[in-house]
Structure 1
Amino acid sequence: MAKPLKIALVILGLFVTLVVVAAVGLVMTFDPNDYRAEIESIVEEETGRDLAMRGDLELSIFPWLGVETNDVVLGNAEGFGPDPFAEIGYFGVSIRLLPLLDKQIQIGTVRLDGMRLNLARDASGQTNWDDLIAASEAEDTEPEEPPAPSTETGFEITNLAVEAIEIDDAAVTWRDDSTGQRVALSDFSLSTGRISANATHPIPVSSRFVVSLSQPATTLTIDLVAKLAADTDAGQFTLDNLRLEGTAEGDAVPAGKQQFTVATSAQLDQPAGVAKLTELTVQAAGITLKGTADATELNGEAPQLSGQLVAERFNPRSVLRALAIEPPATEDNSVLQSATLDARFSAGGTSAEIRQLTLTLDDTTLTGTAGVQDFERQALAFDLDVDRINLDRYLPPPTESPETTDTDEPQGGDINEIELPLDVLAGLNVDGRFAIAELQASGMTFNDATLRVQGKPGQPLQQSLTAKAYGGDVSIENRVAGAADASPTYRFQGSLDELLFGNLLQDLVDKDWLQGKGLVTYDLTSQGRTVGDLRRHLSGTLQFGLSDGAIKGIDISRVLTAAESKLRGESTEAQAGGETRFNRFGGSMTLKNGVAKTTDFSAGADQFTLAAKGSVNLVSMELDYQLNPVLTAAPGGSRLDALVGKPIPVTVTGPVTSPKVRVDVKSLLRAEADERIEAEKEELRQKAEEERARLEEKVEAEKERAREKLRDRLGDFLQRGTDQSTEQTTTEPADGGG
């Protein structure tokens, strides 16, 4: 602003020169036109510019000493083209004569019409007023001879006053060849009331002008009124009741055209280096902003600014429409209807802060602090609290879509090709906390959620989230390193403790897959710049354990019934649906390059046990699992007694959103056949054993009968021998007596 002011003073000096020369001509010859050539020569000598006074100089004598002229042209600097530097259509000024006797200068109305000022900067950075400034500075630095001693009092001005200043049809153009920017001030008019030196009474000021910019193409039309009071000796200035009304038009202006109003009052104490802005009101696009501001240390190297800005209640939808922005379609049409703002701020040369912020949107209130702690390092800090918000109310309403496919890919594109917002994270210097007492998002409900974000350039960006949800506690730690690299790395750690997982999954993906309460912990890493990269490189471990719940979509009893029917030769398929209750459910997953494998899954209930192994491809979201349910007891009223204790192979394959459940009948039949063969073998072994025992018993009986016969015969033989011996003994004495 210093250089344009210098230019204005130079031009004003030229006009004063005209007045002085005209006064001299009046005294000496009373025909100032005889001195036009001399005036032009003096100007050329002082500035190096050509001055052409094409109109006549006209004088008035009493009671005003006045001079008027028109059609004055001042040439441009060398190298800036043929257009004149300045033109004046009409200039007139007069001084009251009689007050001069009292050493008072009372100037009448100063009129300036049709002024044209062409300012320019060439491609090298030189301006077409550099020579005027250099000439003025050279004159200021010329050594002055000390005044000769004098006993005369001299002509000391005790009072200077200007009745009014009237400027009409003025224009200033600015051309910057180094940037290509063009700025034009046109249709400028200015009107003031009485101006006097060091007067404390307010001076009414009114002005109207049009400003046009080429980059971007914008036109501003401004009307303003104000009252200005200035005590130049004390360096105190007051601007009261400023009211500015304007219109902005152009391609860069929302809706092509906007109207705005600014009203305020201001005070400046230059020696103290303080300024104050009061009663500020800004109205535009249906928003009314009110505020105050205080500036201190204006004379020092570190000026400070503080204040308050308040937005009265407004309708965000109406504001968007005023800006030619169609309000977003929302699930709940009652949102985006009411908002307010109250911010108390402070700023200095190196930092800026909103020290106290209160923002409301519909039935949500945000409070806290936020700021830039260091402009050079772009160090952001915030500490914000929200009482409650339902983000789902602000989402687009559901739309009718074609029949769902067996994938989870969005219509119109591959989710794996979505770029992650890493450019926002690269080089982020932040330390912040964001807490929400009650949050609903994607159908999920959280309480006492607190997000903390910390990161510095060249260091990993860390985020932690804690919350209470679904009857349990959520604790999540994420880290992103090398966000600006070709392949940034990630680490995800967390635990979901005592959560009701059925309610969580229902709200999260609108799928009732699982019911139960338990614990999930995970520690995962990945890398890449897209969702697909993140999925493909996901590795780590995940453990889970639930109790007293159910697996939804698979009814093990129904599957086993179908298996039993097939064993009996009936054509019955296992149908998906239903549920399988369990009292324990758990296992772990090992993830490597986007594939999650399970080898130790087990579940149990009162009448069955379940083991499983398999994998989930997280890129294609495809399942490939082998389940092995085993009945420990047949449900009452079922025909499953034949399956008790037998593992039934069940496969679960296909998309996660619609898995296919099949019973491996071949394996089941093979196992059944093997079991029958073993049973028949056992029966044959038993029959052979029985026959062997019978034969052995028969042989033993035959042996016993043979032994009996042998004993009988031996007894008979021994009996006969005894009888013969007895007979011989009896007959021998009779023979000896004869």
Structure 2
Amino acid sequence: MKAFGKILGLVLLGLLLIIVALGFALSHLFDPNDYKDEIRQIARDKAHIELTLNGDIGWSLFPWLGLELHDASVATLTAPTQPFADLQMLGLSVRVLPLLRKEVQMSDVRVEGLNLRLTRDKSGHGNWQDIGKPAPAIAGNEATAATGSEPAAPAKPDSISQPLKLDIDSLTVNNARVEYNDEQSGQQFSAESIQMSTGAVHEGISIPVKLTAFLGTNKPVMRVKTEVDGKLRFDRILKRYQFEDLKIVGEASGEPLQGKTMTYAAQGQILVDMAANVAEWSGLKLSANQLRALGELKANNLDKTPQITGGLSIAQFDLAKFLDSIGHTLPTMAPGSLSKVEMVSRLSGTPTSLAFDELNLKVDDSTFTGRIAVEDFAKQALRIQLKGDTFDADRYLPPKSAEATGATAARQAEVQGSEAGALASSGDTPLPDAPTKSGWSTSKIIPVTRLKALDLVADIRFDQLTLSKLPIQNAGLKANSKAGLLTLENLSGTLYKGSFAANGSLDVRPILPLAKLQTRINNVPVEKILQSQGKKPPVTGLLTLNSNITGSGDSQSALIQSLNGTASFVLNDGVLLNANLEQQLCRGISILNRKTLSGEPRGKDTPFNELKGSLVLRNGVASNPDLVVRIPGLSVKGDGDIDLRVLGMDYRIGITVEGDQRAMPDPACQVGKNFVGVALPLRCRGPLELGAKACRLDKDGLGKVAAKVTGNKISEKIEEKLGDKVSPELKDALRGLFKR
């Protein structure tokens, strides 16, 4: 037995030596380069691809089946002269015996200079769709196939095939390139200078993976450098794929960034379960320039339209600087605007939309809750539903331009000059000149291009909103914009215990933007409004105003000059400040009485019960034909114009008075029966800010009043002289003669 065992061992050793010798002989005496044509034909017949081998084939047989291909290319049989892939070198080695057990055990796999070109033609057909398909049949073969026997039914496999088990020591890809070209849209994508390396590739274990590449696209022109590092784990039977400790870093530049560069990073754990059609990204950390965020994402229905859910938390950052760093500069704002922004929200979306639900957004000193959504990325359809605590809109307004500052200064100088000479309390100065300087800016204030592209539906409410320095309580804003038409559905709130509401539209589709506005103000202190604008109020009182106006243009000046429409106003329980109309009128009565006032002016203000009227606006000038003021002891009516272009006024006012009603009246200001029904005239002209201080006795009108008073006195004398001696008809005729 020992001899037999020894002999058997020698036989086996001999067979092994013979096999090794045969492998050596085959690998050294047999040259596969002599059979390139046969190899190409096998590739056509079995794999249905056109294989071109321009370089040498290197190989080994045992115990590794080694193969090296140099300078090779692959094309489909439908386009054999247009390779979709080529490479400089492919090197791999496979253990022979494990192949018999359907196990693939490889040593290092190296790919050098791979170039993959994917193209979709104008009809929408991709060249990758023809990979593995037989060549189209030619006419002669079609006839032969038609007369031949029916093909035999394919043999059924004896058992269900099992997937091959992979066992690779490492995979290395150097200097690869992938290009995609869509002739329908003209869109091009590319991944260049691809470098990839892995550790040992085994199913069910963590495989270290490192990848670097330069990504690019032509619409828009973008260039992205990226590096991916992590551990890949996969199970092909369960169809589960995990990327553990994933880290992605890189930087991007191109047209959307307007010449700026964005550095970015992302990390976390990714799981894709194709059997359940779900994917998850947990432990998500993101950064892009100054922005830092944490979150988690989950996607369902991967086989249909993926539905994305998750959460996101963005740490406080400077939004204005961030947007500027990625080439999206905001409209000019006050310094420090949007410098403190942070957000926490739930996410939901699809490949074409994204919504931030349960949103908690902090912007500088304001907090908002609600929802913000982009319903369609392509259309930039923005939907906003927010509730804010306090928001100061004025802090985001830009500084005035040099042109606007100069115009304002010129106007203020003109007003101050008029005010310096306006001693309204005594009324003995000349009438102020009509203003000529405009304080309105000619700088463009309407972002026409942005509004044309804006697709917006917004519903925003505030506990307190500061707008034009006005503290509005319980403010509400509803607006929408589509294709260049911005509609203000409602802007309302309470203001100084009064209320206001407005609605209108802004149409930027015409050459000149067209604005329409309807306003309703109820019992708002007018002096508070004027004081908030930094102006001295000429009048106080509770304002009720209704207006319907239109204007066109893209600057303050153009809009004001084109104002047209109507308005009505009532001012209750008010005071004309720094304007003693009673003293002005006493002066006029004293002139008519040909007497001199003996007393000093008793006050500088004039209280009134009601001031009302209506306005008709034409090209920036408001005509007021029916001004009525109810002042105790006075009846005031007037008409005139308010020139909004220069904020000037020109009024003629008639005032009927009872005279000095004090216990000891000034004799020069007593109103006799000759003054009954006589309206004393005033002329008000000058800057609107002067109010009643711009009013003076109308000397031209006063002459007509004097004539009327003289007629009254003559009529009184006729009555005294004639008594009952003549008929009433004759006395009336004589009175009428002197009153003409």
CA–CA separation in structure 1 for the residues paired with 2:175 and 2:154: 45
Give 1:506's aligned residue.
Answer: 531
Cα pair 1:491 1:523 within 8 Å, conserved: no
Paired AA for residue 668 in structure 2: D
Give 2:499's aligned residue.
Answer: 473
CA–CA separation in structure 1 for the residues paired with 2:523 and 2:127: 77
Cα pair 2:47 2:132 within 8 Å, conserved: no
Cα pair 2:579 2:606 within 8 Å, conserved: no
Give 1:168's aligned residue.
Answer: 174
Give 1:277's aligned residue.
Answer: 281
CA–CA separation in structure 1 for the residues paired with 2:155 and 2:375: 57
Q: CA deviation at 1:61?
A: 3.9
Q: CA deviation at 1:216?
A: 3.1
Q: CA deviation at 1:338?
A: 1.5
Q: CA deviation at 1:340?
A: 0.2
CA–CA separation in structure 1 for the residues paired with 2:499 and 2:261: 52
CA–CA separation in structure 2 for the residues paired with 1:119 and 1:458: 40
Cα pair 1:407 1:655 within 8 Å, conserved: no
Q: CA deviation at 1:209?
A: 0.9
Percent identity (aligned): 24
Give the TM-score taking structure 1 as reference length. Answer: 0.73
Give 1:115's aligned residue.
Answer: 114
Is 1:612–2:638 an aligned residue pair?
A: yes
Give 2:6's aligned residue.
Answer: none
| Equivalent residues in 2 for 1:171-190, closer than 5 Å | 171-190=177-196
For residues 466-495 of structure 1, the C-alpha deviation after alignment (integer angstroms, 9 at most, x for no partner) is 312112222x25255999799999986554
Structure 2: state its 5+ residue gaps: 1-22, 138-149, 412-435, 596-602, 727-740
Q: CA deviation at 1:218?
A: 2.4
CA–CA separation in structure 1 for the residues paired with 2:162 and 2:253: 52
Task: Give the RMSD, CA atoms, in angstroms.
Answer: 4.8
Give 1:627's aligned residue.
Answer: 653
Paired AA for residue 168 in structure 2: V
Give 1:726's aligned residue.
Answer: none
Cα pair 2:374 2:380 within 8 Å, conserved: yes
Give 1:438's aligned residue.
Answer: 464
Is 1:671–2:690 an aligned residue pair?
A: no
For residues 481-531 of structure 1, the C-alpha deviation after alignment (integer angstroms, 9 at most, x for no partner) is 9997999999865543332221022214735132113x5142636587878
| Equivalent residues in 2 for 1:5-20, closer than 5 Å | none
Q: Does the C-alpha gap of structure 1 residues 453 and 651 become closer, same or farther in structure 2, counting only changes over 3 Å? A: same
Paired AA for residue 410 in structure 1: W
For residues 188-245 of structure 1, the C-alpha deviation after alignment (integer angstroms, 9 at most, x for no partner) is 111122223xx32221111111123333332211111121111111122212111111
Counterpart of 1:227 (choices 223, 228, 231) is 231
Give 1:316's aligned residue.
Answer: 319
- Higher mean displacement: 608-617 or 34-43: 608-617
- Higher mean displacement: 670-679 or 129-138: 129-138
- Higher mean displacement: 600-609 or 29-38: 600-609
Q: Does the C-alpha gap of structure 1 residues 372 and 223 become closer, same or farther in structure 2, counting only changes over 3 Å? A: closer
| Equivalent residues in 2 for 1:206-217, closer than 5 Å | 206-217=210-221
Paired AA for residue 194 in structure 1: A
Paired AA for residue 364 in structure 1: S
Give 2:301's aligned residue.
Answer: 297
Give 1:720's aligned residue.
Answer: none
Q: Does the C-alpha gap of structure 1 residues 558 and 166 become closer, same or farther in structure 2, counting only changes over 3 Å? A: farther
CA–CA separation in structure 2 for the residues paired with 1:55 and 1:238: 38
Cα pair 1:536 1:619 within 8 Å, conserved: no
Secondary structure, counterpart of 1:34 in structure 2: helix
Secondary structure, counterpart of 1:410 in structure 2: coil
Q: CA deviation at 1:543?
A: 3.8
Counterpart of 2:478 (choices 442, 446, 452) is 452
CA–CA separation in structure 2 for the residues paired with 1:420 and 1:317: 18
Q: CA deviation at 1:55?
A: 2.5
Secondary structure, counterpart of 2:527 in structure 1: helix
Counterpart of 1:585 (choices 606, 610, 618) is 610
Cα pair 1:487 1:529 within 8 Å, conserved: yes
CA–CA separation in structure 1 for the residues paired with 2:169 and 2:370: 53
Give 1:69's aligned residue.
Answer: 69
Cα pair 2:452 2:483 within 8 Å, conserved: no
Give the TM-score taking structure 2 as reference length. Answer: 0.73
Give 1:359's aligned residue.
Answer: 361
Q: Does the C-alpha gap of structure 1 residues 44 and 101 become closer, same or farther in structure 2, counting only changes over 3 Å? A: closer
Paired AA for residue 684 in structure 2: V
Secondary structure, counterpart of 1:433 in structure 2: strand
Is 1:524–2:548 an aligned residue pair?
A: yes
Paired AA for residue 681 in structure 2: P
| Equivalent residues in 2 for 1:637-716, closer than 5 Å | 641-642=668-669, 644=671, 647-653=679-685, 656=688, 661-676=695-710, 678-679=712-713, 682-683=716-717, 686=720
CA–CA separation in structure 2 for the residues paired with 1:513 and 1:558: 17
Q: Does the C-alpha gap of structure 1 residues 523 and 144 become closer, same or farther in structure 2, counting only changes over 3 Å? A: farther
CA–CA separation in structure 2 for the residues paired with 1:137 and 1:224: 42
Counterpart of 1:384 (choices 380, 383, 386) is 386
CA–CA separation in structure 1 for the residues paired with 2:240 and 2:338: 46
Greater relative contact order (CA < 8 Å, ≥ 6 in sequence): 2
Give 2:432's aligned residue.
Answer: none
